[in-house]
Amino acid sequence: MSHCTRWSFQRKVDWFRCQFAQHTSLPFSEVLPAQVIASALQAMCLHCYDSVYSPVTVVWLFLSQVIHANPTLAVTVENFLAWRLSHGLPACSNVT
């Protein structure tokens, strides 16, 4: 296989990042189920309170922020607010 026909690792990462970065919401909420994160936390014997910024939400927000073209906290929180509203959840403060 020639070098021209196979993707380099960096190109695969860039493609992956581009696919998720196109979302204006929480793209990882669609591919990383909350139960998977919750099970991992339980396996580590971590117990968390149920809140707006639960560990599941924080993981989704962190991953979304890392891949976003504008990885500011303000944009991440705005996207989270949009996600909450699109899922019929009440709005929360967007003050960062």
pLDDT digits (tens, 9 = 90+) for 54-95: 999 999 999 988 888 888 999 889 889 988 999 899 988 766
CB atoms within 10 A of CB 5: 6
How far apart CA 96 and CA 87 sit, in angstroms, is 21
The pLDDT, as a whole number, for residue 14 is 79
What residue type is assigned to position 42 of the chain? Answer: Q
Contacts by 88-94, CB closer than 8 A, 24 or more apart: 92/52
Residue 73 near residue 65, CB atoms below 8 Å: yes
- Claim: this prediction has a pTM higher than 0.75: no
Q: What is the mean pLDDT of residues 8-16?
A: 80
In the chain, pLDDT over 90 holds for what percent of residues?
A: 27
